[in-house]
Amino acid sequence: MSEQEVIRVFIVEDDFMVAKVTREFTEKVPGFGVVGEARTGLETLEFLKHQTAELVIMDVYVPDKDGLELLREFRNQQHPLDVIMVTAAKEMETVQECLRLGVFDYICKPFGFERYQASLQRYQKRLRVYDEMETCTQPTLDELFGAVTLLGSTETLPKGLQQETLEHIIRHLKEIPFAQTCEEIAQKTSLSKATIQRYLRYLVENDQLQKELTYGTQGRPEHKYYWR
Mean pLDDT by 10 residues, the chain (228 residues): 78 95 96 96 93 95 91 91 94 92 92 90 89 77 62 60 86 84 91 92 86 74 84
Q: What is the pLDDT of residue 29?
A: 96
Domains and CATH numbers, the chain: 7-132 (3.40.50.2300), 148-227 (1.10.10.10)
Q: What is the pLDDT of residues 193-212, one digit of tens each?
A: 999 999 999 898 887 888 88
Is-above-0.85 flag for pTM?
no
Using an 8 Å Cβ cutoff, are 213 and 192 in contact? no
Q: What is the pLDDT of residues 114-144, one digit of tens each?
A: 889 989 998 998 898 888 878 877 767 777 7
Integer Cα distance of 150 and 124 in angstroms: 25
Integer Cα distance of 119 and 29 in angstroms: 10
